[in-house]
Structure 1
Amino acid sequence: MDALLGDSVASPTVWLVTLLVTVGILLIDVVVIGRKPHEPSMKEVTRHLIFFIGLAVAFGLGLAIFAEPHELSPSPAAEFFAGWLTEYSLSVDNLFIFIIIMASFGVPRQYQQKALLIGIVLALIFRGIFIVVGAAAINQYSWVFYLFGAFLIYTAIKLAKQGAEDEDEYEENKLVKFAENHLPATKEWHGTKMTVVEGGKRLITPMFLVILTLGTTDLLFALDSIPAIYGLTKDPYLVFTANIFALMGLRQLYFMIGGLLERLIYLSYGLAFLLGFIGVKLVLHALHENQLGFINGGHHVEWAPDIPIWVSLSVILGTLLVTTVASLVGSARIDAAKRDEMTGPRRDWDDD
């Protein structure tokens, strides 16, 4: 706990209030959706999405006004916005996988909200665990930044190759396959129930498999997102709140821009660049504060710059803007080319 509370921008009281508010919002969602499963209207998701985005912006402005800089967080507000935008952009990429999962299991639209909500709760739990572990590791071993940086660079290369190969297929993990093959199950949907009793025997429903798939997928997503945000801020409170605000609006974003996601054709390249940039930033930071004996005799490397947060924030905003514009322009050209292929070449006839 010292790694979380010792040098954080937030006091224990602020931590407690944040956790209580987060749990309260999730409980309201659970009660509302649990009582009346439905496919949300565009008006509903727009209203909720604006609320969560506005809340995140207000939180960041509050940090700018009230939070004092300290050793772990020299620029709390800028670090929060950089972390929130990065986590949000990674979450948008994850929506591709969520859509494929829902389609592969044939989840009825009225039940998708419940599945996504449980998936978000699991994501918050997994990321909370990784945040605690990451904070403890950073607090004890400065060389962990080398590992985080190398992992992000590897992930960036892998993501860029995936974008080049245009692979959007989802392959079930071994845990889900084991559950499908070894647990007694029914193929019938029973609302949002994950288990039912039929003939005196407890059976798992398709909803159970959907939740299991979303949960294990969220666990893999956390492996990318937590090292990425620790490359932007070392304050566990800012890491946690950036993840909360990125995940809170994810369910609404799923229903709002499901079709638009197909037009973000260069998103993988943009995210690959961002992860690569943050990975290099982490490695440079590790060199700047180096304590490994086999590197420069255990002394810091003077030529390695520590990239300031305003540069990181500028790169993040610029990358997201360029990626979005390029994707929309590129997808429009592809659509136009497909229409031309369907209609065939135009012929101009000369009138005699």
Structure 2
Amino acid sequence: MQPVSGVVWVLTVAGIVGLLLFDFFFHVRRAHVPRLREAALWTSVYVSIAILFGVGVWVFGGSTMGAEYFAGYVTEEALSVDNLFVFLLLMSSFKVPRADQQKVLLFGIVVSLLARTGFILVGAALINSFAWIFYLFGLILLVTAGNLLKDKHEEGEAPDNFVIRLARRFLRTSDTYDGDKLFTYQDGKRVLTPMLLVMVAIGGTDILFALDSIPAIFGLTQNVYLVFTATAFSLLGLRQLYFLIDGLLDRLVYLSYGLAAILGLIGVKLVLHALHENNVPFINGGKHVDVVEIPTVASLGIIIGVLVVTVVVSLLSPKGRARTAVAGARRQATEFLDIETDPAYCDEIYHRLLEEEKKLKQLPEKYRARIRQQVELMELLERAHRVHAERVAAGSCYVPATT
């Protein structure tokens, strides 16, 4: 495998930093709600950059490096989509206004990139020093694959871990947001806003995700340059991807099963590689075990195939359609009642809520019956309609001009 020169490293890091700065100054600094067209455009731009970079790796580094990069990038991108479920729940839990969510996501991406870079360097050092570390990485991925088979995305259940609990305990914040500011004044005193708290929660949670994703990509390539670039490019377009597919996230009901299969495959690949490189005394007397290893090209084909099947089956699933409609209605009602304050955007959210309710009514009867049994959801929707009627009666509801 060809070594990567220091010049290439410097240019690559400079390019990634430049993309992050461009993202901040041209998109995130001015708080706004990205429309579907904007999110789709910039998602395609970042994916195209990642693909072109991979083509360059393939041309200048050879087919092996190219296949390893693409396998790593696709795997990390798939894991990032799964992470978006948790980001969505965090945004809802902290009641972050839609226009301010971009800054939170970009902060989380930067923290994650820095943390994962550290994990990559540590992982590479461990691999170079201890061949048995592949056994540990493989075990981590197999356990993670088993955990993914559990339904971890319960409706309305916000994630909770020690990072979030510590942040809530030690970061004293005001009760309300002040735009996207991190500090505000309350009773004449300078205090933190909830914006800082949610940034810590997003960044901290994403660091925990790295404990799974870094072993996964090391199972596909041990080239530190490829591990770093595949990880970085999978994160760079994550903010735009969030706004592009957040309405479809709940539709991907079988994504966790697909990811479990992928992580299981990589876990087995790591264990086989560990057996091949074995120097653990109590395994085959410290000698290597003659086993068949899974080629990277085969891994890439399996990963893409699993993801395609998972997404197609999810999109065609009646269960996915029902869960999408329920989650959409709950999200729009919650935003309308508890999060947004801008009259024009509130009116837009209310009309989205009406569209989601139409979808609920178009579901098969067995799903509609289950939805009617969700007392909390029914009360939430009724309250949204009641509040909208009160706002219209009071003349405080924005009504768009007609032509």
TM-score (norm: length of structure 2)? 0.78
| CA offset digits 1:69-91 (Å, max 9, x no partner) | 7xxxxx10000000000000000
Do 1:9 and 1:76's aligned partners in 2 also have CA atoms closer than 8 Å? no
- Measure, in 1, the Cα distance between the counterparts of 2:114 and 2:167: 22
Following superposition, the deviation at residue 190 of structure 1 comes to 1.5
Say yes or no: does 1:24 pair with 2:24.
Answer: no
Residues 136-155 of structure 1 aligned to structure 2 (within 5 Å): 136-155=125-144
Following superposition, the deviation at residue 27 of structure 1 comes to 1.2
Following superposition, the deviation at residue 171 of structure 1 comes to 3.1
Q: Which has the higher contact order (CA 8 A, sep 6+)?
A: 1
Residue 301 of structure 2 is matched in structure 1 by 314
- Measure, in 1, the Cα distance between the counterparts of 2:179 and 2:26: 15
Residue 347 of structure 1 is matched in structure 2 by none
Do 1:8 and 1:236's aligned partners in 2 also have CA atoms closer than 8 Å? no
Counterpart residue type for residue 111 of structure 2: L
| CA offset digits 1:272-306 (Å, max 9, x no partner) | 1110110011001000110111110111001x212
Following superposition, the deviation at residue 35 of structure 1 comes to 3.8
Instruction: Kindly report structure 1 stretches of 4+ aligned residues shifted beyond 6 Å.
Output: none
Residue 109 of structure 2 is matched in structure 1 by 120
Residue 80 of structure 1 is matched in structure 2 by 69
Residue 349 of structure 1 is matched in structure 2 by none
Do 2:108 and 2:199's aligned partners in 1 also have CA atoms closer than 8 Å? yes
- Measure, in 1, the Cα distance between the counterparts of 2:246 and 2:137: 31
Residues 222-237 of structure 1 aligned to structure 2 (within 5 Å): 222-237=210-225
Say yes or no: does 1:214 pair with 2:239.
Answer: no
Q: Please, which moves more after superposition, 247-256 or 183-192?
A: 183-192
Residue 131 of structure 1 is matched in structure 2 by 120
Residues 88-107 of structure 1 aligned to structure 2 (within 5 Å): 88-107=77-96
Q: Please, which moves more after superposition, 108-117 or 35-44?
A: 35-44
- Measure, in 2, the Cα distance between the counterparts of 1:168 and 1:227: 30
Partner SS for 1:196: strand
Taking a change above 3 Å as real, the CA distance of residues 168 and 92 of structure 1, as seen in their structure-2 partners, is farther
Counterpart residue type for residue 87 of structure 1: E
Partner SS for 1:203: strand
| CA offset digits 1:18-60 (Å, max 9, x no partner) | 1111111111222234541111121211111111111111111
- Measure, in 2, the Cα distance between the counterparts of 1:166 and 1:52: 31
Following superposition, the deviation at residue 109 of structure 1 comes to 0.7
Find 1:193's aligned residue among 174, 177, 181: 181
Do 1:184 and 1:202's aligned partners in 2 also have CA atoms closer than 8 Å? no
Taking a change above 3 Å as real, the CA distance of residues 342 and 181 of structure 1, as seen in their structure-2 partners, is closer
- Measure, in 1, the Cα distance between the counterparts of 2:20 and 2:244: 20
Task: Give the gaps of 5 or more residues in structure 2.
Answer: 323-359, 370-403
| CA offset digits 1:66-123 (Å, max 9, x no partner) | 1147xxxxx1000000000000000000000011000111111110011100010011
- Measure, in 2, the Cα distance between the counterparts of 1:112 and 1:8: 41
Task: Give the gaps of 5 or more residues in structure 1.
Answer: 1-6, 70-74, 345-352
Say yes or no: does 1:340 pair with 2:330.
Answer: no
Q: Please, which moves more after superposition, 201-210 or 325-334?
A: 325-334
Taking a change above 3 Å as real, the CA distance of residues 183 and 52 of structure 1, as seen in their structure-2 partners, is closer
Counterpart residue type for residue 319 of structure 1: V
- Measure, in 2, the Cα distance between the counterparts of 1:280 and 1:125: 28
Taking a change above 3 Å as real, the CA distance of residues 62 and 333 of structure 1, as seen in their structure-2 partners, is closer
Counterpart residue type for residue 326 of structure 1: V
Taking a change above 3 Å as real, the CA distance of residues 94 and 112 of structure 1, as seen in their structure-2 partners, is same
Do 1:91 and 1:246's aligned partners in 2 also have CA atoms closer than 8 Å? yes
Partner SS for 2:190: strand
Do 2:174 and 2:186's aligned partners in 1 also have CA atoms closer than 8 Å? no
Taking every aligned residue pair, what percent have the same amino acid on both sides?
49
TM-score (norm: length of structure 1)? 0.88
Residue 317 of structure 2 is matched in structure 1 by 330
Aligned residues: 331
Do 1:143 and 1:291's aligned partners in 2 also have CA atoms closer than 8 Å? yes
Aligned-pair Cα RMSD in Å = 2.1
Do 2:315 and 2:321's aligned partners in 1 also have CA atoms closer than 8 Å? no
- Measure, in 2, the Cα distance between the counterparts of 1:175 and 1:205: 18
Do 1:265 and 1:331's aligned partners in 2 also have CA atoms closer than 8 Å? no
Do 2:252 and 2:320's aligned partners in 1 also have CA atoms closer than 8 Å? no
Partner SS for 1:172: coil
Partner SS for 2:151: helix
Taking a change above 3 Å as real, the CA distance of residues 168 and 240 of structure 1, as seen in their structure-2 partners, is farther
Following superposition, the deviation at residue 268 of structure 1 comes to 0.5
Following superposition, the deviation at residue 191 of structure 1 comes to 1.7
